[in-house]
């Protein structure tokens, strides 16, 4: 234990998080990290389907963060990577250090992907128009970045989904460096499947 740790207590526990808007590539990133050697925190309740053929990698108790259910961070998240959608990220308690891989994707692609998912579920894809939804997403992202930037216990790396599919060889080393050079980059690259890139930006 270092002198600073003796003076100020033990090193805080670190939690690795994959986050982002819905349909931004969070499940792909979880699969990449699993292939690279990290254990995902998932309960397998939500199974793979046409919208996410590779699986969702979700842990249901994450949804209870707004209710104060954080015990799983100590009991289950240690040494693993957990997927937390951006809307729930700001509910994380200050008692841990967080390393966040934040997925970014062109908003028009996210909107198109969400619409396709709603159509498959036989729900109304036009309940909120694209302009309104895009504005809501932009406002939400600004709030999430303000939260991350305002917390000294949070470090994050933006991961561009579009660039990942276009040139994964340039992106994977950045992820590995952010997480301490512990991952198998070759196996991570094998996970990237451009064939699943179905809602592309126009122009």
Domain residue spans in the chain? Answer: 12-191
CATH of domain 12-191: 3.40.50.300
* pLDDT beyond 50 at 149: yes
At 16 the pLDDT is 96
Q: Write out pLDDT tens, residues 126-141.
A: 666 788 888 989 999 9
At 21 the pLDDT is 93
Residue 46's region, left for phi above 0, alpha for psi from -120 to 50, else beta, is beta
Burial of 77 (0-12, 13-18, 19+ CB in 10 A): buried
Asked if residue 27 lies in contact with residue 56, where contact means CB atoms within 8 angstroms, the answer is yes
Q: Write out pLDDT tens, residues 21-71.
A: 988 999 899 999 999 999 999 987 765 545 555 657 889 999 999 999 999
At 84 the pLDDT is 97
* pLDDT beyond 80 at 98: yes
At 7 the pLDDT is 46
At 66 the pLDDT is 94
Residues 6+ apart with CB under 8 A from 25: 103, 105, 159, 161, 164
């Amino acid at each position: 234990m270092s002198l600073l740790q003796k003076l100020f207590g033990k090193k805080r526990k670190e939690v690795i998080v994959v986050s982002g808007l819905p349909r931004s590539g969070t499940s792909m990133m979880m699969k990449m990290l699993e292939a690279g050697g990290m254990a995902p925190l998932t309960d397998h309740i939500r199974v793979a389907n046409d919208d996410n053929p590779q699986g969702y990698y979700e842990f249901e108790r994450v949804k209870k963060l707004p209710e104060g259910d954080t015990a799983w961070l100590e009991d289950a998240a240690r040494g693993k990577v957990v997927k937390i959608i951006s809307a729930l990220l700001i509910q994380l308690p200050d008692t841990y250090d967080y390393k966040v891989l934040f997925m970014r994707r062109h908003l028009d692609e996210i909107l198109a992907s969400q619409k396709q998912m709603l159509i498959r579920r036989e729900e109304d894809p036009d309940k909120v128009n694209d302009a309104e939804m895009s504005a809501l997403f932009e406002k939400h992202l600004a709030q999430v970045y303000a939260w991350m930037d305002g917390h000294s216990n949070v470090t994050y790396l933006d991961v561009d989904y579009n660039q990942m599919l276009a040139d994964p060889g340039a992106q994977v080393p950045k992820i590995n460096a952010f997480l301490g050079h512990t991952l198998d980059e070759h196996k991570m690259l094998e996970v990237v499947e451009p064939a699943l890139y179905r809602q592309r930006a126009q122009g």
